[in-house]
Structure 1
């Protein structure tokens, strides 16, 4: 069976705190229980991120606040952040990243350090998301990435926490499918959320891709649905999602979509609604 409808079930979206007004305005257009990830940017404060998470909870969505390990100056700051989230019923599902700063502000040099601290479990977290990089990371060797993924998955299991993996976005279905297959070959069975950009301007998509080390060769771009020769117009993930859905089967385990909004929450929510409405399972020839 074609897997696109399954991919579109229980999808998640990612916003920044500045997207809170748009989220409030469009919350009714998202299915109740949709996961809303709130990024941990250095340009936004803890109170802003907390309000974004609280707004999601009030709208009967599921907030998933991000915790950037290297941004925390102390364990007490981490605990204060978690207490603030708990006050708004936004502490049960979290997502842990290393964070952009090269030098840690405090005791956590990596997402693994923060998970192993035990603070998340003590604060009442039930599920913790971790990152995956189908195309690698511009500043981290592949061997280190794979070792960290396995160690983080094991640390979550050791602490009795449910886990999931959300990937960096990609325009390359081949790279994503190969990466998922290697994850499963390594015995990591966590659910995977494949990062996909919502509809956005081509120039913006290319800029984010270059910043994140995501491949944008002419061939990959053309297959995805835009041209590097003319960075005008808007591109959506329709072709990518359709091909990904067609190539997944039982070997790949639980796979869903994670939509990066890149400041275009309205367009992303509209696309998700149309995609769910139009997706019909079809038999392969």
Structure 2
């Protein structure tokens, strides 16, 4: 199936509706350059990096809003040093009109810098809705997590979705990226069987250098066997080229059944830059990718 017919396929079109992107606080100039290729209203997630300060994150959220997109600031639980630091962030987001949507994650530090051990602690604090948050994204890990067992991951996502519902907050699940659609679809089906019907945004690596993709995969415990790499479209013996998610998205669309998987969307991790990802998306959506 060529790019044009694939892009026109109903399942692929459904996946590509309302896709979301990810950026860092320092990516504002790249986002401005790409604005003609990104649909208005697109959800843009803003990471919570340890080497970026509050002002950088807030400025990025304001820029996303100014450019006509929906800012989704990340809040990293274990990076927060105090309740007052969380309140300062939320108050600033509310003042800027960028507090409606957030994503809460545990974050990288093995030991919390303050009182919040994980994303659930942020939800249970009651502060999110107090400062105007209405929609909360949470993480999902179809291939597991290098530091958390499978049963603990399932318990966590069940507790978080229940806690959001009790507080009247809507939510969605954004998954870790991967190179194989099969475990993603199996995980989503298992999620639905557990009674969790929140929309799932499947993590997709935007086009990037293969070596860079391998680095991120190793960091996050993503499978990269020879067979998986071949299925995705690259070789582990040649890391000098680049790879895009064409085959992954087609495979996801082929296996997508709304009766078993519910609402699925795509979330692009812009490892190769937001410009490269937006160009790839524009080509793929119009069928000009090949």
Is the Cα contact below 8 Å between 1:35 and 1:64 reproduced in 2? Answer: yes
Partner of 1:6: 14
CA deviation string 1:157-202 (max 9, x = no partner)? 0000000000000001111011001000100000000000110000
Partner of 2:64: 56
Superposed, 1:140-219 pairs within 5 Å as 140-219=148-227
Distance of 1:265 and 1:240 partners within structure 2: 19
Which of 83, 105, 120 is the matching residue for 1:75?
A: 83
Distance of 2:211 and 2:110 partners within structure 1: 27
Note the C-alpha offset of 1:26: 1.1
Partner of 1:259: 268
Is the Cα contact below 8 Å between 2:207 and 2:272 reproduced in 1? Answer: no
| Residue 128 of structure 1 pairs with residue 127 of structure 2 | no
| Residue 273 of structure 1 pairs with residue 282 of structure 2 | yes
Is the Cα contact below 8 Å between 2:158 and 2:196 reproduced in 1? Answer: yes
Distance of 1:263 and 1:227 partners within structure 2: 18
Partner of 2:5: none
Is the Cα contact below 8 Å between 1:166 and 1:192 reproduced in 2? Answer: yes
Distance of 1:177 and 1:18 partners within structure 2: 33
Q: Secondary structure at the match of 1:3?
A: helix
CA RMSD of aligned residues (A): 1.1
Q: Secondary structure at the match of 2:266?
A: strand
Which of 111, 123, 140 is the matching residue for 1:115?
A: 123
Is the Cα contact below 8 Å between 1:3 and 1:246 reproduced in 2? Answer: yes
Is the Cα contact below 8 Å between 1:129 and 1:166 reproduced in 2? Answer: yes
Using the size of structure 1 for normalisation, the TM-score is: 0.96
Distance of 1:209 and 1:88 partners within structure 2: 35
Runs of 4+ in 1 over 3 A off after TM superposition: none
Note the C-alpha offset of 1:86: 1.6
Distance of 2:35 and 2:169 partners within structure 1: 28
| Residue 223 of structure 1 pairs with residue 231 of structure 2 | yes
Using the size of structure 2 for normalisation, the TM-score is: 0.94
Is the Cα contact below 8 Å between 2:105 and 2:139 reproduced in 1? Answer: yes
Is the Cα contact below 8 Å between 1:199 and 1:271 reproduced in 2? Answer: yes
Distance of 1:2 and 1:24 partners within structure 2: 31
Q: Secondary structure at the match of 1:67?
A: strand
Aligned residues: 279
